[in-house]
Amino acid sequence: MADRILGMGDVLTLIEKAQANFDAEQAAKLNKKIRQADFNLEDFLDQMQQVRKMGPLEQVLG
């Protein structure tokens, strides 16, 4: 109950959703592209699609 009052339950739920949609191999490739300044609009689109998999933005931010 105290976690809910402090908002920690919401943070934990957000982390759980992110982990469920997380692809470690793809994240490593993306990290390499960013470090080499090779990040493009297709990579950005892939990231936005990953965010969409987490559900409606209202729920994620709520």
Number of domains in the chain: 1
| pLDDT tens, position by position, 4-49 | 555 555 666 666 766 666 677 888 888 898 899 998 999 899 888 8
Instruction: Please give the model's pTM, rounded to 2 decimal places.
Output: 0.52
| Domain extent for 35 | 2-61
Number of neighbouring beta carbons within 10 Å of residue 61: 8
Query: pLDDT value at position 58?
Result: 74
Expressed in percent and rounded to 5, the helix, strand and coil fractions of the chain are 75, 0, 25
Paired tokens of 58? 């209202």
